[in-house]
Amino acid sequence: MKTIMLVCSAGMSTSLLVTKMQKAAEAEGLEANIFAVAEAEADSHFDEIDVLMLGPQVRFLEGKMKEKLEPKGVPVGVIDMTDYGTMNGEKVLATAKELMK
């Protein structure tokens, strides 16, 4: 079971993307716990995740998050703006899986 956390400014806009990613994971037979939080809540989940995906609107956090998470072996990525805008759960899931390799 892989745990994927999405972070955006308020945690709201990514909820639809989480749903689409969960459907894509089910279709692949991948067991994954996928959830979204606001930037302010992210730190409290660091010990339970396998990858962190940042929404395009909080891409400025990438350096700070990498500093905190890479020593723990947790990769950090920024969701592609087009994939985010079109809510392409399959592509965002594929990116998360690639980061976890």
Backbone φ and ψ of 14, nearest 5°: -90, -5
What is the set of active-site residues? 8
Both structure tokens of 39: 């930037």
CA distances to 52, 56, 83 from 62, in Å: 10, 10, 18
Residue with tokens 């594929």: 94
Alpha helices of the chain — where are they, by DSSP H?
15-28, 62-69, 81-85, 89-99
